[in-house]
Amino acid sequence: MNPVDPKRWRRDFPLLSVRVHGQPLVYLDNAATTQKPRSVIDAVNRFYKTGNANVHRGSHALSAQATTAFEQARDRVAHWLGVDNSATLLWTRGTTESINLVAQSWGRQHLRQDDLILLMQSAHHANIVPWQMLATATGARIEVIPLQADGDIDLAAYHRLLGRKPALVALGHVSNALGTIYPVETLCRDAKAAGATVLVDGAQALPHFDVRLDTLGCDFYAFSGHKVFGPTGIGALWGRRELLEAMPPWQGGGEMIEQVSFDGTRYAGLPFKFEAGTPNIAGAIGLAAAIDYLDAQDRLAMETHEQALLQHALDACSQVPGFRPIASGSRRVSLISFELDGHHQQDVAHWLDRQGVAVRAGHHCAMPLMQSLGLPGTLRASFAFYNTLQEAEQLAQALDQLAQSQKSTVPVADLEQSDY
Ligand code: PMP
């Protein structure tokens, strides 16, 4: 019996009551993006209705008010992450841009021919491609930290690779394709002891549990607002102050300067040096509203509920003939990557969609992981705290219907026309 009732949370998310193909929506694609509570939608609306002005440059009341709201949003998010100095929290468009910022600025400044970059086998493309671009530009080399068969990181291999003194270790906090939670505190400590600079991709961690950057031990932490119930187009990069201060800007333009002449430019200090151009003001305000929302809830109750969802979904789906979960290690968030034997993943996703169940099928922007698993892709059901046990059962029932009705001999298109 699950002691936590998610109904009180569901009421706050207007989108959860829409219907899809005539069915009530069962939204299990939270790893792609999360739904937004009314308070976030209202904060963004309110800004455009009554507070819209550009920031940091106006000489009028509305601009001063927008600047205050924008900078308070930065303070809010920084404080939530345990960051004292909010100037070390840079606004970006999201995780992808945050990692590109580090690769282009810190990376080009520090990496040389034959320097070693360590990436994880399960990395999202956003934590692979920027480093490949950097390696091409600098002559640095990339090595991959393998996973064990159960999806956890292969610690022995990791330590062997650290023995080769990498310049940079780019870790993932939680795998978006497997749901595995990696022991980043230990991984960061060991990488730092080996002399490396460490970046952590936190995109899939923050939606599920609180993270304190004052104790995590990394040098850079990247995340996206839209994965933590905030708007799209906003995210952040946190970096150690001394590293950020020494790094060159990566984009030039307005907002990031102190003094410009045709003879040269003096850059502004943190955080503005890294924030060229008009920022996503409404996005930052919306993200702060999302953090306010999360902070006002019992996050432990959310975590307990999500673990109950995971267990319930796994138990129910395990009864489905041909259901095969993809290994995801000992600690994991509420995400199930799986196959349904005899059925193409896209067909299954399409079938589930017709039943109102939204999941994702494919490589989940982790093609090297899929290659190592020998799979073209998987199905992924990713839960958030607002999902219900009944929704987990609906997923299993819909899969069961497909598995029981025929053994993949009838195309899904025909199934949809049949009566069940
Ligand atoms: N890393 C991980 C682990 C992710 O799940 C995602 C989003 N799927 C990203 C990076 C990229 O995030 P965004 O597209 O918001 O920049």
126 lines ligand 1 (CB under 6 A): yes
At residue 248, the 3 state secondary structure works out as coil
pLDDT of residue 419: 28
pTM here is: 0.96
34 lines ligand 1 (CB under 6 A): no
What secondary structure letter does DSSP report for 268? Answer: P
Task: Name residue 324's beta-bridge partners.
Answer: 339
| Ligand 1 atom 4 nearest Cα | 203
Ligand 1 centroid – CA 107 distance (Å): 20
Task: Name residue 325's beta-bridge partners.
Answer: 338
Distance, CA of 273 to CA of 192 (rounded, Å): 26
Distance, CA of 213 to CA of 355 (rounded, Å): 41
Distance, CA of 35 to CA of 390 (rounded, Å): 19
pLDDT of residue 407: 53
Q: What is the pLDDT of residues 315-342, one digit of tens each?
A: 999 999 999 999 878 899 999 999 999 9
Q: What residue has token string 């987990």?
A: 392
Q: What residue has token string 């970006």?
A: 92
Best residue for ligand 1 mutational test, from 95, 206, 223, 360 (most atoms within 8 Å of Cβ): 95
199 lines ligand 1 (CB under 6 A): no
Q: Which residues are catalytic?
A: 365
On whether the CB atoms of residues 170 and 122 are closer than 8 A, the answer is no
Atom of ligand 1 nearest to the CA of 98: 16
pLDDT of residue 4: 84
122 lines ligand 1 (CB under 6 A): no
Q: What is the pLDDT of residues 345-399, one digit of tens each?
A: 999 999 999 999 999 999 999 999 999 999 999 999 999 999 999 999 999 999 9
On whether the CB atoms of residues 326 and 337 are closer than 8 A, the answer is yes
pLDDT of residue 2: 60
Q: What is the pLDDT of residues 55-84, one digit of tens each?
A: 997 799 999 999 999 999 999 999 999 999
| Residue 412's pLDDT band (cuts 50, 70, 90) | very low
pLDDT of residue 269: 94
Q: In the predicted model, what is the mean pLDDT of the chain? A: 95
Average pLDDT for residues 230-252, to the nearest whole number? 98
CA distances in angstroms from 332 to 175, 232, 281, listed in the order given: 9, 25, 34
322: left (phi over 0), alpha (psi -120 to 50) or beta: left
Atom of ligand 1 nearest to the CA of 32: 8
| Ligand 1 atom 5 nearest Cα | 176
